[in-house]
Every structure is written in structure tokens, then in C-alpha cells.
Chain A
């Protein structure tokens, strides 16, 4: 009886350790990373911040897309807002789509940010952070430029007004628009 009890306890302990190991492996294999340049951008469908329906990235296939992740509490996002709006007005006639994705933000504050900076490109809300997670966003602002085929052309982790990023953003935008 004692031997059987001992074997059962050992089996239970082993099963527990195996379960914890499986959990660790699952966590490591399901960690979200930023898609690399050249990789397919994760598709998504998100509600518009103004409540007027949804936008699906897949439906924009065939057009270059700029994804800008921002938040109303983010200081550098304020400085780049005007630059993004200017580039949007410059490029949308050439088929480029700009999408703003609001990151871990209160929707009313986000809407007043959009109004305050007079931003006219579509703004989407990612309340749960699922989409920002799939793009490996850990800080804002971050900007992705996607090709017509939905592949990442450039990923800029910081404000596009940053001297190191401004040139890269423009050239990526020009490449995506021309391709």
C-alpha cells in the first residue's frame, strides 16, 4: 500500500513538472515579436476611434499602408502628429493609406487628441492591445510602412520627426508608393 502511494505521489509530481515545462515551452513559442522587414504584416480588423465602423488591413491589399501607433499620453506623439498629417495629405492622392492605431489609451482622451491636432487620416482603437502586441509594440510612437503586398518595408521605433528616422521614413514611403 505504501509503495503504491509512493509511486502515485511520484507520478503526480512528475506530471506537475511536465505540465510546468509544457507551459514554459508554450509561452516561449507564443511570444510576440515585431515583424521583420520583408515579413508579412499581421492582419487585423479594428473599430474606428470615431465609432464609424471597422477597418481591415486585408481589405487594403494593393495599396501601400503606413501604420502609426500612438497614444494621447505620449509626448513625442504630439510633435510627430503634424508631420504625419502633412505626409498623409501629400501621399494619399498617390494611393498611400495612413492608419493611426491608438495604444493603451482612454478613448475620450484619444478623440480629443485627434481633434486638437486636426488629424484627418483614419484612427483605430486597439483597446485590448492585441494588435499592438502582434506588432511587438512596447512603446509609442512606432511606425510601420507596408508595401502593396502587405509586407514590412520599414519599422521605425520612435518619432518620425527624429533626425535619424525622418530620412528613412520618407524613403520607405517613396519606395512603397512607387512599387
Chain B
């Protein structure tokens, strides 16, 4: 692991020196691209992988950063070699757009359902209390009223 890290750093330093002066735009970083690019054999991003295939791509990225390539250009080169699945995030076009919009649509739909539920609950009128039931039939109740009237 340490040897691999040192090899990548050494490659970056060796190649970065001569090219640094010629770079006309802010240089991208290996750390940034390691989070954007997948390891093709282990299906994690490069920063979470310790495989030989990931190491090869890290060396490639370091060389291209040293040669002043932008992050977009490096990603395009990797896509041309491995296909779009090499990128951690799907492309923002065509069918792949669904991967971007569906979660947003899901969150919006959930928020709408929640808001509708809260609104309905807050507008609900309190139900009138049910009349107390004495549990007596009408005849008994009438006789009880008569008896009580005598004491009044």
C-alpha cells in the first residue's frame, strides 16, 4: 500500500516538474479524480481500491495531470478506453439522465405527499362529542324523570 502510494507520488513529482511552467489553466488533482473514476475490476472508486488495475489508472492520471490535461480530458480518455462505466457518476445525457432526475423526483413526490398529509390533518375539524348514553330504555327513563320531578 505504502509502496504503491510512493510510486504514484513519485510518478506525479517526476512528471509534474518540467510540465508545471507550461500549464495554462488550474491543474486538476489526483485526489479529485480518484473519487470520480471507478476501478474496473473491483467496482469501487480508485481512492477505495488497492488493486493493480486501479494503480495503473492512477499512474495514467498522474502522467496526464503532469502533462496539463484537464479533468474532463482525462475522463474522456478513460471513457474512450474503458467505456462510460469507468466514471463513478453516470453521464448527464440520454437515458442516463434518469439516474440524476429520478432521485430528485422521488424526494419532491415524498415532500408533496407529506405536505398534503400535514395540510389535511391541520384543517380537520374536531368531531362533536357523542351524547352520553344512559343505557336505559325510553319507558324507564320517562318514569325516572317523573320520580325526580316529584322531588323538585
Contact = CB atoms under 8 A, between A and B. Distances in A.
B35 interface: no
A129 interface: yes
A16 to B, nearest CB: 10
Q: Is the interface of B mostly helix, strand, loop or mixed?
A: helix
B140 interface: no
Contacts of B82: 104, 127-129
B32 to A, nearest CB: 20
B49 to A, nearest CB: 12
Interface in B82-132: 82-83, 85, 113
Interface string A58-89: 00000000000001111100000000000000
A101 to B, nearest CB: 14
A162 interface: no
Contacts of A139: 41
Contact of B40 (A9, A74, A109, A129): A129
Given A104-B82, A106-B81, A72 B56 contact: yes
B19 interface: no
Contact of B57 (A74, A75, A106, A129): A106
A73 B81 contact: no
A73 B53 contact: yes
B151 to A, nearest CB: 50
Q: Is the interface of A mostly helix, strand, loop or mixed?
A: loop
Given A127-B82, A128-B85, A106 B56 contact: yes
A50 to B, nearest CB: 15
B112 to A, nearest CB: 12
Given A127-B82, A128-B83, A128-B85, A105 B52 contact: no
Contacts of B41: 104, 139
A105 B83 contact: no
Given A104-B40, A129-B40, A73 B56 contact: yes
A1 to B, nearest CB: 10
Contacts of B83: 127-129
Nearest to A128: B83
B60 interface: yes
A11 B52 CA distance: 49
Contact of A105 (B55, B56, B113): B56
A107 interface: yes
Interface in A1-42: 9
A107 B81 contact: yes
Interface in A96-135: 104-107, 109, 127-129
Interface of B: 40-41, 52-53, 55-57, 60, 81-83, 85, 113
